[in-house]
């Protein structure tokens, strides 16, 4: 799908959509609880739909329970072999693999090839060390094994999603386990979200706040009635619009949220100052911060190495698209520099790179400069009505489905 955005003034109030990160976690927790949970304020993005489809395949019963709510009846530990379609959702895949290693029966995951190009080495090493079956192809993964209580050591600098997956599974084992994150722990805030969600389901994990979890065994998940808070990651695109247009107000993200991407506003204040901006705890803000930096005097972003492991190589992808606006961007191994240069409307269409955050970051700039985005449907991965919400603020958006 091609989307054309014409320069236009924006104004109004934007209410953040439900948090995708929280939705994944609550749906999985509900699938493990014996009894009915109600999960409220849940959005039907492609990623969340993938998790919902997988927990149903694993035996959970999930039905609508009113406006934007689901009633989920869990079945506990998955016991029967199943095929699980995860689409492009890294969270779905990485959160569910350890749960599928609790019963000793085979499970096969399938999905987009790009997803299976992203790192799974943490789980592969874990499986190889324990003699489990781990067979990965270009677009699938089959695992079979049975986790036992004990010490688990994994790198903390690839993705916090591996730790989250283990934190869901290890409390269900018969004895105590220890999870140790080696190296520099990044995306630390996501582990705090996991810890909170587990606590809501009555599951306790002892975290030292740095790198070590003590996880009592023999625990059970209990049903909850939970409401998903607003998504700070997606709200950031509209906070960026507020900076550029001045008359947009963003609501719906609690001031006390644990989401790491809540820091967009504070980081945006540093743009153009020459101060280095670390993205270690908020890599998903990289595209929108780079876009705003190009507009507001440039910036130097550090801790960017993991950007190449996302839905696209986000550093290189954003550099290529920002250059179409006239921006000067340099991508290094663990640093991205956006220079201070005058921008202009892009002379060729913006390419999505199949990445939802590239699409939305580019759209922010196009509301001022105008232009086209090829492959704009990628936004549906996390924010299906992004362009409708943009238009509601006054953006001139036209669609070409051919």
Confidence of residue 401 (pLDDT cuts 50, 70, 90): confident
State residue 288's pLDDT score: 98
Instruction: Give 402's pLDDT tier (boundaries 50, 70, 90).
Output: low
pLDDT tens, 375-396? 999 999 999 999 999 999 999 9
Pairing of strands 212-215, 206-207: antiparallel
The pLDDT value recorded for residue 122 is 96
pLDDT for the residue 209: 77
Residue-wise pLDDT for 100-143, tens only, equals 999 999 999 999 999 999 889 999 999 999 999 999 999 999 99
pLDDT level of residue 69 (50, 70, 90 thresholds): very high
pLDDT tens profile 283-309: 999 999 999 999 999 999 999 999 998
Please state, for a pLDDT cut of 70, what percent of the chain lies above it: 100
- Distance CA(132)–CA(118), nearest Å, equals 21
Q: What is the mean pLDDT of the chain?
A: 95
- Bridge partners of 153, per DSSP, are 180
Q: Looking at residue 245, what is its pLDDT?
A: 92
With 70 as the cut, is the pLDDT of residue 41 above it?
Answer: yes
Average pLDDT estimate for 156-176: 95
CA 171 to CA 103: how far, in whole Å? Answer: 14
Nearest-10 Cα torsion for 16, 116, 99, 185:
-70
pLDDT tens string 340-366: 999 999 999 999 999 999 999 999 999
Q: What is the pLDDT of residue 144?
A: 97
Q: Point out the residues that are catalytic.
A: 284
Domains of the chain and any CATH numbers: 2-16+230-254+262-400 (3.65.10.10), 20-215 (3.65.10.10)
Q: What percent of the chain has pLDDT over 90?
A: 92
Largest distance between two CA atoms of the chain: 62
Give the integer Cα–Cα distance in Å for 186 and 348: 36
> Token pair for residue 290?
């780079």
Q: Is residue 57 pLDDT above 80, yes or no?
A: yes
Q: Which residues of 320-344 are buried (b: 16+ CB within 10 A; e: fewer)?
A: bbbebbebebebeeebbbbeebeee
- How far, in Å, CA of 361 to CA of 357, rounded? 6
């Amino acid at each position: 799908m091609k989307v054309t955005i014409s320069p236009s003034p924006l104004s109004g109030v934007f209410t953040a959509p439900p948090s995708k990160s929280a939705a994944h976690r609550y749906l999985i927790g509900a699938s493990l609880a014996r009894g009915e949970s109600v999960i409220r304020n849940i959005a039907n993005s492609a990623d969340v739909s993938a998790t919902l489809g997988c927990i149903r395949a694993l035996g959970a019963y999930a039905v609508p329970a009113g406006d934007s709510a689901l009633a989920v009846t869990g079945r506990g530990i998955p016991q029967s072999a199943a095929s699980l379609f995860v689409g492009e959702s890294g969270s779905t895949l990485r959160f569910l693999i350890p749960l599928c290693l609790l019963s000793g029966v085979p499970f096969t995951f399938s999905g987009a090839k790009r997803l299976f190009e992203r790192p799974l080495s943490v789980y592969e090493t874990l499986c190889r060390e324990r003699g489990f079956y781990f067979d990965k192809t270009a677009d699938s993964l089959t695992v079979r094994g049975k986790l036992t209580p004990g010490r688990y050591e994994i790198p903390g600098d690839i993705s916090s999603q591996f730790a989250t997956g283990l934190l869901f599974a290890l409390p269900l084992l018969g004895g105590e386990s220890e999870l140790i994150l080696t190296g520099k722990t990044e995306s630390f805030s996501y582990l705090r979200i996991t810890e909170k969600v587990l606590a809501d389901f009555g599951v306790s994990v002892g975290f030292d706040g740095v790198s070590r979890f003590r996880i009592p065994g023999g625990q059970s998940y209990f049903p909850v009635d939970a409401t998903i808070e607003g998504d700070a990651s997606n709200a950031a695109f509209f906070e960026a619009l507020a900076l550029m247009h001045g008359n947009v107000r963003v609501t719906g993200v609690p001031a006390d949220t644990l989401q790491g991407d809540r820091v967009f506003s504070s980081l945006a204040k540093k743009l153009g100052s020459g101060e280095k901006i670390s993205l270690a705890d908020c890599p998903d803000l990289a595209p929108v911060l780079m876009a705003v930096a190009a507009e507001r005097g440039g910036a130097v972003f550090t801790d960017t190495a993991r950007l190449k492991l996302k839905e696209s190589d986000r550093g290189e992808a954003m550099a290529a698209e920002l250059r179409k606006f006239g921006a000067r961007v340099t991508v290094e191994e663990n640093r991205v520099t956006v220079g201070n240069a005058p921008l202009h409307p892009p002379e060729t269409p913006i390419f999505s790179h199949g990445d939802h955050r590239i699409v939305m970051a580019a759209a922010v700039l196009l509301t001022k400069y105008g232009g086209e985005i090829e492959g704009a449907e990628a936004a549906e991965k996390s924010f299906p009505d992004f362009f409708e919400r943009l238009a509601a603020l006054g953006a001139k958006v036209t669609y070409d489905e051919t």
